């Protein structure tokens, strides 16, 4: 499988997939801040991106998730 490169719409898609697979979609609003507080969010996102074979910028995914926690009520989409 070739490594995919970043596109304009891919950040949201990857961020939401990361939440479903790694953070937990049912309690993401509480889980994501705990991951951030643990100090290993970037490493976790990088490791996950490697598994899904994407060289997307992990910082963009982290920024999206931080915004999502601030802007959304906690309901999954």
Domain extent, residue 43, equals 10-71
Total domains in the fold of the chain: 1
pLDDT digits (tens, 9 = 90+) for 4-21: 555 558 899 999 999 999
Q: How far apart are the first and last CA of the chain?
A: 29
User: Does 76 map to a domain?
Assistant: no
User: Does 4 map to a domain?
Assistant: no
CA 16 to each of CA 64, 76: distance values in angstroms, whole numbers, following the listed order: 9, 10
Would you state the pLDDT for residue 3?
A: 57
Would you state the pLDDT for residue 17?
A: 96
User: Does 3 map to a domain?
Assistant: no
Q: Which residues of the chain have pLDDT under 70?
A: 1-8, 75-77
For residues 10 and 56, the answer to whether their CB atoms sit within 8 Å is yes
């Amino acid at each position: 499988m070739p490594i995919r490169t970043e596109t304009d719409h891919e950040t949201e898609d990857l961020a939401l997939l990361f939440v479903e697979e790694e953070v937990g979609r049912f309690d993401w609003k509480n889980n994501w801040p705990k991951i951030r507080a643990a100090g290993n969010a970037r490493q976790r996102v990088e490791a996950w991106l490697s598994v899904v074979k994407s060289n997307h910028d992990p910082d963009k995914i982290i920024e999206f998730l931080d915004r999502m926690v601030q802007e959304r009520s906690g309901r999954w989409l």
